[in-house]
């Protein structure tokens, strides 16, 4: 699967565009990109992002969750290497905002919350980011939770686990056959 296909799939899932997609398509090296100097994610940050991603895409009977795919580490690489300085700041500040919202709502950190408490918080943040996207003007900053959600989906469905366990995968599909029967509940094809 190439970058364009992966981005179009993630955009399709989210019903829109992916933040920073032009940077992904340019190979993560835009000429004018000047990221945050000294931006470094600690192992605790990766574990925190893994838990956020796992809440977005949890383990199911048919497939492992986002944590098994290493989505937290994927997010840190993408933010560090591919996001503009402005989006890097929004993302890193968003990690703190999510923590503050969790502490306000549950009187404990995100890592200490139950899966149900985490899910309830992320549902609220998802509603907030959808409202933000609906009313967003061109110069308005991106919403941090949308970034986290997009990176979770992109990281998971482009990982080996996502492509082979959550979707059907055939390494060499051979000829095109447009008349393959679809059965309700079949997984989508990974390319």
Mean pLDDT of successive 10-residue stretches along the chain, which has 191 residues: 59 60 54 63 96 96 93 96 94 97 97 97 96 91 95 94 82 68 79 61
| CA dist., res. 68 & res. 5, Å (int) | 23
Q: Are 53 and 71 in contact (CB under 8 A)?
A: yes
pLDDT value of position 22: 57
Number of domains in the chain: 1
| CA dist., res. 9 & res. 89, Å (int) | 26
**Domain range holding 100?**
3-29+37-173+181-190
Phi-psi region of 24 (alpha: psi -120 to 50; beta: other; left: phi over 0): alpha
pLDDT value of position 168: 76
pLDDT value of position 166: 84
pTM of the model: 0.74
pLDDT value of position 46: 97
| Per-residue tokens: 75 | 């997010």
pLDDT value of position 11: 63
pLDDT value of position 38: 67
Q: Return the ∠ at Cα 122 (arms to 71 and 85), rounded to 5°.
A: 55
| CA dist., res. 3 & res. 17, Å (int) | 14
pLDDT value of position 7: 57
Within the chain, strands assigned E span 168-169, 189-190
Q: Are 48 and 111 in contact (CB under 8 A)?
A: yes
């Amino acid at each position: 699967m190439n970058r364009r296909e992966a981005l179009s799939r993630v955009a399709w899932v989210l019903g829109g565009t992916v933040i920073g997609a032009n940077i992904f398509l340019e190979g993560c090296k835009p000429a004018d990109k000047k990221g945050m100097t000294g931006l470094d994610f600690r192992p605790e940050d990766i574990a925190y992002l893994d838990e956020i991603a796992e809440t977005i895409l949890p383990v199911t009977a048919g497939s492992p969750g986002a944590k098994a795919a290493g989505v937290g580490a994927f997010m840190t690489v993408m933010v560090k290497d591919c996001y503009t300085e402005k989006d890097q700041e929004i993302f890193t500040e968003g990690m703190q905002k999510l923590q503050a919202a969790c502490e306000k709502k549950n009187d404990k950190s995100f890592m200490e919350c139950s899966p149900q408490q985490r899910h309830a918080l992320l549902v609220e943040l998802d509603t907030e980011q959808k409202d933000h996207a609906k009313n967003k003007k061109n110069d308005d900053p991106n919403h941090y939770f949308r970034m986290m959600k997009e990176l979770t989906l992109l990281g998971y469905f482009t990982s080996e686990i996502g492509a082979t366990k959550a979707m059907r995968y055939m390494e060499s599909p051979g000829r095109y056959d447009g008349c393959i029967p679809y059965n309700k509940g079949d997984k989508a094809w990974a390319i």
